[in-house]
Chains A and B, each alone.
Chain A
Amino acid sequence: MTTGEEPEGLRLTAAEEASRRRRNRAIGLAVAALCLLFYAITVFKMGPAILSRPM
C-alpha cells in the first residue's frame, strides 16, 4: 500500500540529536564502567576462591 507520501514522524533538530548522542555516550560509558566494576569486585572479593567450587 503506497500513498506516495512517507510518514514523517518526528524529526529531531540538530541540537536534540547532538544532546541525545551525548546522553547515549554517557550511558555507554556508565554501563562499561559498571561491567568493569562488577568484574573487579568479583575478582578482588573472592580472589582465587572464584575458581574453587564443586563441579
Chain B
Amino acid sequence: MSDLGADLRRETLISNADPADFLALLKPRVMSLVVFTALVGLLLAPGAIHPVIGATAILAIAVGGGASGALNMWYEAETDALMRRTANRPIPAGRVTREEALAFGLCLAFFSVMVLGLATNWVAAGLLAFTIFFYAVVYTMLLKRRTAQNIVIGGAAGALPPVIGWAAVTGSLAVEPLVLFAIIFLWTPPHFWALALVKSGDYGRAGIPMLPNVAGERATRMQILLYTLVLVPFALVPLALGFAGPVYAVAGFGGGLLMLVWAFAILRAPTPDRLARACWRMFGGSILYLFALFAALLLEWSAGRLAPLLPGGWA
C-alpha cells in the first residue's frame, strides 16, 4: 500500500478522541444547571418516587440535556471554529469528527428518552424528547441564525428540566413547575444578552444575529433591563402561591435587588470598559441568582422533610 493511501486512511479512519472529548460534547456546565433545576422539580412534586428511580430520572434528564449539547455542537462545528469562545470545542479543534458527534448525540437522545419512559412515565419521556428536539432543531437549526429573538424562544428548552422532573413523579403538569419554567424562561434573555454584548464581535464574525448585532448596543441594554424588571417580581410568584417560604423570600428579594442593580449598571455604563465589566457581573451574577432561587426551594424542602425527625420539632 502506498504511503499516500495509508495517510489518507489515517486521516479518515483513526480517531484520537479521548473519553473526555466526548464528555465535553455534553456541555457539562450547562448540564449541571439542568440537573439542579430538574432535581428541584422532582423533589417539589407531590407524591413519592423511589430514590433509585428518582436518581435514574435525573440521570436520564442530564444525559438528554447532554445529547442536545452534542447535537448542537455537531450542527454548529463551522460557526464554533470562528468564535474564540468555542474554537477549542472537540469538533473545531479536530479531536472528534462531526459524524462521531452526531452518532453520539442521537444514541444518547434515544437512550435517555427510553430510560426515562421505562423508569418513570411517558409524559416525562415525551417532555424530554420535546426538549431535545426544541434545542437541537428549533433553536440550533431554525432560530439561531434567523432571528435576534433566538435565545428568547430557545430559552424554553433550558427552562423545561424542572417540568420534566415534576412530571417524572406525577405523570402530569401543574402550576408550580410551570412557574419554575417561566422563571428560567424570563431569566435566559438578560443572562445571555449580557454575554452577547461583550462577545458581539465574535457573534458578528460567525454571522449569528444576536440582539446587539441586529438591534444595537443601546437597545440590548434596555431589553436586559426590561426583562429583569419582569423577571424579578415574577420570581416572587412561588411565595404568593405558597410553595416557597422565608429562605426563598431572602433569595428572591435580595437576589432580585442585585439583578436590578446589575441591569441598571449595564444600562448606564459610560465607557466600553465599564460596560464589559457590568456585563460580566450580570452574566456570572445571574447564574448565582437562579442557583440561589432553586437552592432556596431545595433547602426549604429538606427542612420540611427533616423537621419531623428532629427532637421537639422544628420550623
Contact = CB atoms under 8 A, between A and B. Distances in A.
Question: Do chains A and B interact in one complex?
Answer: yes
A15 B16 contact: yes
Contacts of B119: 41, 45
A10 B13 contact: yes
Interface in A1-55: 7-10, 12, 15-16, 19-20, 22-23, 25-26, 37, 40-41, 44-45
Contact of A10 (B10, B15, B56): B10
Contacts of A16: 14-16
A26 B53 CA distance: 24
Contact of B56 (A19, A20, A41): A41
Contacts of B15: 16, 19-20, 23
Nearest to B118: A41
A10 B6 contact: yes
Contacts of B14: 10, 12, 16
A28 B123 CA distance: 31
Given A37-B115, A44-B53, A45-B53, A22 B19 contact: yes
A8 to B, nearest CB: 7
B39 to A, nearest CB: 18
A19 B6 CA distance: 19
Given A10-B13, A41-B119, A23 B52 contact: no
Contacts of B22: 26
B50 A23 contact: no
Contacts, number: 44
Interface residues of B, number: 20
Nearest to B54: A44
Interface in B96-124: 115, 118-119
Given A19-B16, A19-B18, A44 B52 contact: yes
Contacts of B53: 41, 44-45
Contacts of B56: 37, 40-41
A26 B104 CA distance: 13
Contacts of A15: 16
A19 B13 contact: no
Contacts of B241: none
Nearest to A7: B1
Interface of B: 1, 6, 9-10, 13-19, 22, 50, 52-53, 56, 59, 115, 118-119
Interface of A: 7-10, 12, 15-16, 19-20, 22-23, 25-26, 37, 40-41, 44-45
Given A10-B10, A19-B15, 18 more contacts: A10-B6, A10-B13, A10-B14, A12-B14, A16-B14, A19-B16, A19-B17, A23-B17, A23-B19, A25-B19, A26-B19, A37-B59, A37-B115, A40-B56, A41-B53, A41-B119, A44-B50, A45-B119
3 shortest A-B CB distances, which residue pairs? Answer: A26-B19, A44-B52, A41-B119
